[in-house]
A and B are shown apart, each in its own frame.
Chain A
Amino acid sequence: MPLFIQLTLTGLTNGAILALAALGFVLIYKSSDVINFAQGEFLLIGAYVIFGLIAQFGIFWPLSMILTILIAVLLGVAVERLVLRPMIGEPIISVIMVTIGLSSLLKAIVSAIWGTIPQAFPAFIPSTPVKVLGASIGADRLWALGVAVVMLALFNFFFTRSREGIAMRAVADDQQAALSMGISVKRIFAWAWSIAAVTAAFGGMLVANIVGVSGELAGFGLRVFPVVILGGLDSIPGAIIGGIIVGLLESYTGGYIGEGLNQVLPFVVLIVILMVRPYGLFGQEIIERV
């Protein structure tokens, strides 16, 4: 039983961080129909920027967090303006390749500035083990879970109650109608990319606290895909639930079956879901009209 609780908690925390990364992904897809293959790199940049600010510049960590968020916003706006704006109307394979190229470029920039060797991160969240329901889990993981939950709740509130959030949903639904209602679609795209960069940066900061910084963090980008396909590419609750399910799935297979299988199982599930129910649990069905 304690193993089960342990695995559940680990799975929940991993799942929460995956959900954060997936949230940005879904957001970009919802508003601009673009798949962001560079989401993992946004996470990487968030982790490395705060590492640089704390470890190399010695800035107090709350201030570092705020600075990292500002840098993430700038990054999102810059990427949208410079790379994605010229791609409007191009076929989807070009857009996919542009974000792949972007991910390569960002990874190279990060490696050039900070190197590829994993570095210890001066964790500002203590990792003292905390006993929960008979299993012990590091406090930093619990903090990660808590922060992720709070952020997801904030985003839910943002999208249902605030003006900008509703405007984003409108643009995602029908750009023409949104334009005719006076919503600036360009601004919404910039918002979408900034928020995606910010959520990824948050995820990166949390992950850096737990495992330190290394080039491996970009691997999150690949694990986001099973999450968003399972949840539905254009559904925010789907990203959350998909993240939790995939996190728990990885944790249980790793704990009960063996270490190797848990990396590949999400992808097998991905293919199965794609064959059985391509729009995921909560996604919207696309009906092709001729």
Chain B
Amino acid sequence: MISGIFHSTYEDDMALRRTHAQKIRLVILIIFLLAFPFFANRYYLTLANQIGIAVIGAIGLNILVGYTGQISLGQGGFMAVGAYAAGLLTVNLGLPWWASIILASLFTALVGALFGIPSLRLKGLYLAIATLSAQVIILWVVTHWTAVTGGNDALVVPDPYLFGIKINDDFNFYWLVWILAIIVTLLTVNLFRTRFGRAFIAIRDQDIAASVMGVDLFKYKLLAFAISSFWVGMAGALIAHYRNIVTWERFTVDVSVLYLAMIIIGGLGSVTGSYLGAAFMTLLPVTLTNLGRALSRVFPVVDTVIPFIQQGVFGLVIILFLILEPEGLNKIWKNIKDYFRLWPFSY
């Protein structure tokens, strides 16, 4: 049992991982991530890729909702913007996939900042409703601006190639997505050690006091929306290139709700929470489907109600987590860590 964290150099004090236990856990995680694709079959690789994309989107959303306190129900719309922008840039302008992903993310950041303008006048509930209407409006524009987006038709995106390697093959895409996820993680964790990040947290905690102290609410709220939408747009663009198809049905209000559920169940305002929540909410429907299929061999009636069980359990899990553990999986993880750290005095 350790009695405290004592550093003797500035490097140790400023490091991201300061104790031995943290460093060992990080090394284990990295070894697992590196080894996983070599041992997993195609199905699990697809799942891992999905989780990776969800992690990027969830971290983006957490920057806005968890760290800056601006409730946003518009993620589905922003992901749609990212996906359609990336797809259209690749298909119509012939840009290489990496350029269209970056440009699409930048464009989504602009759109996000635009729809973040109401946040300067609105808070909490009203902002949630404003972003909900942003979601509806964006989706309407996507489905009705047929000249650009093809309306209800699916937009087909060609396979991305790099030096002749097919990137959206499950194995190769794993590397792309998880390297990006690690980059996003590092950037976000360091963001909250800079001036901007602290301004975001100040806005969340007490925005009036923050503005009295000199934090320009206008600039930093828009910046929060922009940075968050950048990552959410990147997640959308990755989906476009991974699945080769962009359809509006993948970006409805339910997707917004799903991402909010990810960060709330995972833990608001923490990057670890985003990881846990993204993994949990991606694996939950899959586990339920497999469970249902296994059960339906014994009780055939289960087969017909599986999609409803998925939806119902989704809602039920959200309700239960919010009633029983409002701080999410992150808090549970912290409790586990504390238990072992303080053992045998962990009461």
Contacts and interface: CB of A to CB of B under 8 A. Distances in A.
B318 interface: yes
B209 A225 contact: no
A111 B315 CA distance: 14
A290 interface: yes
Interface string B194-225: 00000000000000110000000000000000
A226 to B, nearest CB: 8
B122 A290 contact: no
A223 to B, nearest CB: 10
A108 B307 CA distance: 8
A182 interface: no
B333 to A, nearest CB: 19
Given A94-B264, A108-B311, A87 B126 contact: no
- The interface residues of chain B, by DSSP majority, are classed as helix
Q: How large is the interface on A (under 10, 10 to 19, 20 to 34, 35 or more residues)?
A: 35 or more
B318 A92 contact: no
B136 interface: yes
A90 B121 contact: no
Interface in A54-87: 83, 86-87
B312 A112 contact: yes
A35 B73 CA distance: 14
B322 A90 contact: yes
A177 interface: no
28 contacts: A35-B128, A86-B323, A90-B322, A96-B128, A97-B260, A98-B318, A98-B323, A101-B318, A103-B315, A104-B311, A105-B311, A105-B315, A107-B311, A107-B315, A108-B310, A108-B314, A111-B307, A111-B311, A233-B125, A260-B144, A264-B136, A267-B140, A268-B133, A271-B118, A271-B130, A278-B121, A278-B122, A288-B208
B132 interface: yes
Contact of B132 (A90, A109, A225): A225
Interface in A219-277: 222, 225-226, 229, 233, 260, 263-264, 267-268, 270-271, 274-275
Contact of B319 (A102, A264, A267, A290): A102
B95 interface: no
A133 interface: no
Interface of B: 65, 71, 117-118, 121-122, 124-126, 128-130, 132-134, 136-137, 140, 144, 208-209, 253, 257, 260-261, 264, 268, 305, 307-319, 322-323, 326
Given A106-B315, A274-B126, 20 more contacts: A83-B319, A92-B71, A93-B71, A93-B128, A97-B322, A98-B323, A100-B315, A100-B318, A101-B316, A101-B319, A102-B319, A105-B314, A108-B308, A108-B311, A225-B129, A229-B126, A268-B133, A274-B121, A275-B121, A288-B208
B150 to A, nearest CB: 15
A238 B326 CA distance: 34
8 shortest interchain CB distances as A-B pairs: A101-B318, A105-B315, A104-B315, A108-B312, A108-B311, A112-B308, A267-B133, A264-B140
Contact of B137 (A83, A105, A267): A267
A207 to B, nearest CB: 20
- B118, B121, B326, most chain A CB atoms within 10 A: B326
Interface in A38-58: none
A225 to B, nearest CB: 5
Choose among A35, A106, A226, A264 the residue with the greatest number of B CB atoms under 10 Å from its CB.
Answer: A264
B253 A98 contact: no
| Interface core residue of A35, A87, A108 (most chain B CB under 10 Å) | A108
Contact of B133 (A90, A106, A270): A270
A35 B125 contact: yes
